[in-house]
């Protein structure tokens, strides 16, 4: 019976705007007990314990050592954890792997800490279920504490979800499910429009390759891969010679596609907007500057894109210098 379920013993803060209860087809989840406004803090949680190793290097012994150092009440909290079939995990390491997060998540600027890799076990946030179009996000960490914020208004009774991977806006439904190792039934994955969604997300991945010169794994795509099929365009992306006007169009188009996917939250805007507004400052040809200014004045990203298309095929006096900057940043000759 759910009344006696071990998760009833997990310590949810009294002022938390959610409760833990069964979620259809997903084990247990977190559900809003009152309206949560966009941008509101949902939960800030410190880990039960941290293992200072990369995720793939953590062993049963590492988890056992950390567990033995806990106070008795905290040991009981760890032992409450079950998998989504309501069975106990087969080992401590399995329980840790399924309920841990990287401690020291990159912030919205993408910067990384020089600290060694570490993973912490978070009792409550690990109960939040996944969605490919979530209503919350864990954008930053403060030391080992993780904060979760609402990315849209959440109604009382609505389940609180976040996306388990940071690059899912670039992955198709099949690729997402392979990474998750379970089938997601969110609106994007289960609706009749998922084919359109897959096209958008594949397009985003290609556009990001054109601007970054690498795929989402940080590597150049192998020969014959389908992210960028045009060899000349792929080579231009990798050596930094994509023209400034094309780069700006690609970046604005990514914003439009992400917005269409329902993923353009405030944190995504903070991370990606500099790539548009910062790039706009590099134009030096007067006629191009005039178009860029008009583009920036547009209210919506769709309107910005329509205006940016006026730059298509146009060269700029700063193309050569900008390409040099890109090559220098990538360590290319």
Mean pLDDT of all residues in the chain? 90
For residues 157-173, one letter each, b for 16 or more C-beta atoms within 10 angstroms of the residue's C-beta and e for the rest, the string is: eebbbbbbeebbbbbbb
Q: What is the DSSP letter of 157?
A: T
pLDDT at 110 over 60: no
Task: State the angle between helix axes of 244-260 and 286-297 in degrees (0 to 180), rounded to the nearest 10.
Answer: 10
pLDDT at 6 over 60: yes
The rounded distance, in Å, linking the Cα atoms of 123 and 8 is: 12
What are the boundaries of each domain within the chain? Answer: 6-104+116-164, 193-330
Question: Residue 104's pLDDT is what?
Answer: 62
- Residue 161 φ/ψ, nearest 5 degrees: -130, 160
Q: Classify strands 129-130 and 41-45 as parallel, antiparallel or unpaired.
A: unpaired
Q: What is the CA radius of gyration of the chain?
A: 23
45-69, pLDDT tens digit by residue?
999 999 998 888 999 999 999 999 9
Mean pLDDT of 161-166: 93
Dihedral Cα 230, 232, 236, 242, nearest 10 deg: -70
11-24, pLDDT tens digit by residue?
999 999 999 999 88
Superfamily of the domain at 6-104+116-164: SET domain (2.170.270.10)
């Amino acid at each position: 019976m759910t009344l006696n379920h071990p998760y009833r013993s997990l310590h949810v803060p009294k002022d938390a705007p959610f409760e833990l209860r069964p979620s259809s087809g997903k084990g247990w989840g977190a559900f809003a007990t009152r309206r949560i406004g966009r941008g509101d803090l949902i939960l800030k949680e410190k880990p039960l314990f941290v293992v200072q190793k990369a995720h793939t290097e953590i062993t049963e012994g590492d988890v056992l050592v950390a567990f033995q150092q806990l106070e008795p009440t905290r040991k009981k909290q760890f032992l409450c954890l079950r998998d989504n079939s309501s069975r106990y995990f087969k080992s401590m390491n399995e329980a840790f792997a399924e309920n841990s997060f990287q401690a020291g998540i990159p912030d919205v600027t993408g910067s990384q800490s020089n600290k060694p890799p570490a993973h912490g076990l978070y009792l409550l946030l690990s109960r939040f279920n996944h969605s490919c179009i979530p209503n919350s996000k864990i954008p930053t960490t403060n030391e080992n504490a993780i904060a979760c914020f609402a990315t849209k208004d959440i109604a009382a009774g609505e389940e609180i979800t976040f996306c388990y991977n940071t690059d899912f806006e670039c992955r198709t439904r099949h690729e997402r499910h392979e990474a998750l190792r379970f089938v997601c039934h969110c609106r994007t994955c289960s609706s009749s429009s998922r084919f359109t969604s897959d096209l958008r997300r594949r397009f985003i991945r290609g556009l990001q390759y054109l601007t970054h010169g690498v795929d989402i794994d940080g590597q150049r795509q192998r020969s014959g891969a389908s992210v960028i099929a045009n060899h000349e365009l792929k080579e231009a992306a990798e050596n930094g010679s994509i023209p400034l006007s094309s780069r700006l169009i690609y970046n604005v188009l990514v914003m439009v596609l992400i917005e269409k996917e329902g993923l353009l939250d405030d944190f995504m805007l903070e991370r990606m907007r500099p790539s548009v507004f910062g790039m706009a400052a590099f134009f030096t040809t007067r006629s191009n500057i005039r178009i860029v200014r008009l583009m920036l004045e547009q209210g919506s990203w769709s309107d910005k894109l329509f205006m940016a298309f006026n730059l298509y095929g146009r060269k700029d006096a700063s193309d050569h210098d900008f390409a040099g900057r890109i090559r220098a940043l990538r360590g290319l000759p």
